[in-house]
Amino acid sequence: MVQAFSNLMKNILDGKFVYTGELEPHKSMDLSEVISWAKILKETGKIVAANVTDNPKSVGSISSLVASYIIQRETGLEVIYQLRCSDRNRLALVSDLLGAAALGIRNVLALTGDHPRQGDMPTAMPVYDLDGTQLVDLIHKMVYEGKDIDGNEIHGPRPQFNIGAAANPNFKPLEVEVLKIERKAEVGAEFFQTQVIFDVNVALDFLDAVKHVKAAFLIGIFPPRSYAQAEFFAKHVPGVQVPAEFLNKLKSISELPDKKERRRKIDEYNVEYFSDFIKEVKKKPSCKGIHIMAVGYPEVVGPLIESVGGS
């Protein structure tokens, strides 16, 4: 039985449709910019929690544990602490998780993590003592059995986390992704956030394929700030389908001479396109919410959610 420790999970179990955001701190000890974005997200009143990335793309960034704590403390925005296996062995994972529990963090997204060779320190040792699925297992044991993965007792109160994992609806064949999701749910994953989807049919097919899995699915979207960003996804991110109609509309907007006009039109189009998208996927029962990856573009989030309306 899933217990709700976080607002995110409470809302989901109450049947509310949830929105999560994404924050990406960088290679810096200065969190002021990220905190300002977090504030914008908080002020929409509609974002129930936001992810804090862990060494994204294997670029050595400020500890996601520290960033999560500071953001949550400074802004009151509930965080989803992302924890990856690329850089820590199981001891370090246990100690960071106990630390996160002590700091009042209530959501963890368990990831395998990008390989160091893809990042800015490719000579680093890849750890991967555990993979993402085994990390879900570890966290579940800590929360529901008060033990670590080797069976050692945790002294005192058990950590209280709701456990999330990643999913990729763009994977072909979808059967592989479904089997992976089943594995993760079996060992304790309670919610899934998906990779970016632009084509609503991809989202709908995915939600049908996973309707038998007892977990909450949050569909990931990425409203692009510019035609260039959308084009980047279409051309350079393999597997992600960007509908031609979407690209063409953004292209024509990008050809407008006035910068302010362009900005306005893009914001408008993103709201229009994605609110239609969200209204469609909301109809599927396994879809419990949307994960908006508007990194560096928090101002679009409020209007978009408003436009969807309902709850």
Partner 1 sequence: MIVVKAKPLEEILGFLLPYENILVVGCDGCTQPPRGLREATLYSMLIEMGAKIKGKMNLKCKATSVAKQCDNHICSTTLGPQLEGVDAILSLACGVGVQTLTEVFPEIPVFPGQNTIFIGSQEREGGILYEKCKACGECLLGETGGVCPVTNCPKGILNGPCGGCVDGKCEVPFEVRDEMGKVVKTVTKDCAWYLIYQRLKKLNRLDLFRKYRPPRNRAISSSPRLSEVV
CB of 23 to partner 1, least distance (A): 19
Q: How far is the CB of 171 from partner 1 (least distance, A)?
A: 7
Distance CA 111, CA 105 (A): 17
- Under the criterion CB under 8 A, does residue 293 sit at the interface with partner 1? no
Distance of CA 88 to the CA centre of its chain: 20
Choose among 116, 121, 41, 110: nearest CA to 82: 110
The residue among 190, 136, 213 whose CA lies nearest residue 4 is 190
What does residue 287 show for φ and ψ, rounded to 5 degrees?
A: -85, 115
**276 scored as a contact of partner 1 (CB under 8 A):** no
- How far apart are CB 166 and partner 1 at their closest, in Å? 6
The yes or no reply on residue 187 touching partner 1 (CB under 8 A) is yes
Query: Does position 182 bind partner 1 by CB under 8 A?
Result: yes
Closest separation in Å from C-beta 304 to partner 1: 25
Does 212 interact with partner 1 (rule: CB under 8 A)? no
The two three-digit tokens of residue 281, written as one number: 């996927």
Answer for the pair 290, 278: CB distance below 8 angstroms, yes or no: yes
Least distance to partner 1, CB of residue 220, Å: 12
Number of residues that bind partner 1 (CB under 8 A): 34
The minimum distance between CB 35 and partner 1, in angstroms, equals 28
Question: Strand 287-292 relative to strand 216-221: parallel, antiparallel, unpaired?
Answer: parallel
Verify binding: residue 219, partner 1, rule CB under 8 A: no
Asked if residues 194 and 206 have their Cβ atoms less than 8 Å apart, the reply is yes
Residue number, 84 or 249, with CB nearest to partner 1: 84
Cβ pair 186, 212 in contact under 8 A: no
CA dihedral 195→196→199→205, nearest 10 degrees, is 20
Residues 70-129 that bind partner 1 (CB under 8 A): 86, 89-90, 111-112, 114-115, 117-118, 126, 128-129
Closest approach, Cβ 308 to partner 1, in A, equals 27
Burial of 166 (0-12, 13-18, 19+ CB in 10 A): buried
Residue 184 CA to residue 189 CA, distance in Å, equals: 5
Residue (29 or 125) nearer to partner 1, CB: 125
- In angstroms, rounded to a whole number, what is the distance separating the alpha carbons of residues 158 and 153? 10
Q: Does the footprint of partner 1 cover residue 180 (CB under 8 A)?
A: yes
Amino acid at 180: K
Q: Which of 144, 171, 233, 269 binds partner 1 (CB under 8 A)?
A: 171
Instruction: Choose between 102 and 176: whose C-beta lies nearer to partner 1.
Output: 176
Burial status of residue 171 (CB atoms within 10 A of its CB: 0-12, 13-18, 19 or more):
middle
Question: Does 238 sit near partner 1 (CB under 8 A)?
Answer: yes
Q: Does residue 26 belong to the site contacting partner 1 (CB under 8 A)?
A: no
By CB under 8 A, is residue 213 in contact with partner 1? no
Is 189 a binding residue for partner 1 by CB under 8 A? The answer is no
Given the complex with partner 1, which of 120 and 276 has the nearer CB atom?
A: 120
Nearer to partner 1, 238 or 285 (CB): 238
- 79 beta partners: 50
Residue pair 121/58 in contact (Cβ under 8 Å)? The answer is yes
131 part of the interface to partner 1, by CB under 8 A: yes
Positions touching partner 1 (CB under 8 A) are: 86, 89-90, 111-112, 114-115, 117-118, 126, 128-134, 137-138, 149, 166, 168, 171-172, 176, 179-180, 182-183, 186-187, 195, 238-239
